Amino acid sequence: MAVTIADSQPIRTKKKIEKILEEKKSGTGLCAIQDFLDHLGDRWSMVVIFHIGYANKLRFNELKKRVTGISQRMLTVTLRSLERDGLVIRSIFAEIPPRVEYELSPLGASLLEAMMRLGEWAREHQSEIEQARRKFDKKK
Amino acid sequence: MAVTIADSQPIRTKKKIEKILEEKKSGTGLCAIQDFLDHLGDRWSMVVIFHIGYANKLRFNELKKRVTGISQRMLTVTLRSLERDGLVIRSIFAEIPPRVEYELSPLGASLLEAMMRLGEWAREHQSEIEQARRKFDKKK
DNA sequence: CGGTATCCTTGGAGATACTG
DNA sequence: CAGTATCTCCAAGGATACCG
């Protein structure tokens, strides 16, 4: 049944890209990835999502230990932003000392899944890019 | 043959994330996505890749028309960066007036493929995020 | 047409100190 | 423990003008 017509693939891909690049009338008027990158294309958001998704549940300082190089301020800012976007759930436990736990919402989990391919691509082709870069710099 | 064991899925995912987050000893010492985002997580790179991939081949000013809001300078900077990373191929034709065409390299094309899922996610969940944001802002 | 070169502004992000 | 509040600084990026 699943007849694969090789030539239909690029056409379907084209249609998908078309929709992704289509400018939304509502809100910012930007297309989907631009809107996405405006909020999640910063230095930390995606990395934090990967880490929370990996651990399922993480406390603030545990997360800070794992995300190499992040400052306390930026972790707070990033987490608030992710919480605001409905991607991360923040649970506060009224204990002493206070305990706060972060986990992915279902929406956040679905995003993590969508990011997996990109993450794997990044890992697989990291050295290829570094190589291309060295080659380019040498020529010029 | 393809027996799907539901419980093995999260485990495989975990292993994948582990590798994605693993800190590379060579180069910057950052993990794969951090390294990736440092170069491609800016405002324009991914959008430009989508546009070039969609059109197969594009001239400078044609690209500028399509990427809403980009300045001439940023388009140049972005294209140079993508060329340096080996993702985009720049072809100069010695004509008058001069003609320059941009297209994806095989590496760039494979990246586009990896970005498709993310792009589709962005499109599908754009309104959900906007909604979460409004809800969050109302409460606070 | 397809860019450089230069100036200038803004806000992203680190460092530090304080708090419920 | 898990933050907030300031201060500060640097560089990403817009505007503008010029060039092969």
- Of B26, B32, B129, Cβ closest to residue A123: B32
Strand D, nucleotides < 7 Å from a protein CB: these are 1-6, 12-17, 20
* Beta-carbon count within 10 A of B45 CB: 23
B6 CA: distance to closest CA in chain A (Å): 15
CA distance A76 to A90: 11
Among A23-27, A90-94, A118-122, where is mean pLDDT lowest?
A: A23-27
Indicate yes or no: CB of B35 within 8 angstroms of CB of A85.
no
- Locate A97 and state its tokens: 């000392």
- With a cut of 50, which residues of chain B have pLDDT below it? none
The spacing between the Cα labelled CA in A67 and the C1' in D7, in angstroms, equals 25
Indicate yes or no: CB of B84 within 8 angstroms of CB of A30.
no
Q: Which of the two residues, A139 and A94, has the higher pLDDT score? A: A94
- Quick one: pLDDT at residue A27? 72
Buried b (16+ CB within 10 A) or exposed e, B67-87: beebeeebbeebbebbbbbbb
3-state secondary structure chain B: CCCCCCCHHHHHHHHHHHHHHCECCCCCCCEHHHHHHHHHCCCCHHHHHHHHHHHCCEEHHHHHHHCCCCCHHHHHHHHHHHHHCCCEEEEEECCCCCEEEEEECHHHHHHHHHHHHHHHHHHHHHHHHHHHHHHHHHHC
- Quick one: pLDDT at residue A107? 98
How do residues A5-45 score in pLDDT, each as one tens digit? 666 778 999 999 999 999 887 777 789 999 999 899 999 99
Indicate yes or no: CB of B21 within 8 angstroms of CB of A50.
yes
- Quick one: pLDDT at residue A30? 86
The spacing between the Cα labelled CA in B66 and the C1' in D5, in angstroms, equals 43
Under 8 Å CB-to-CB from A98, ≥6 apart: which residues?
A92
- Quick one: pLDDT at residue A8? 73
- Of A14, A85, A116, Cβ closest to residue B129: A85
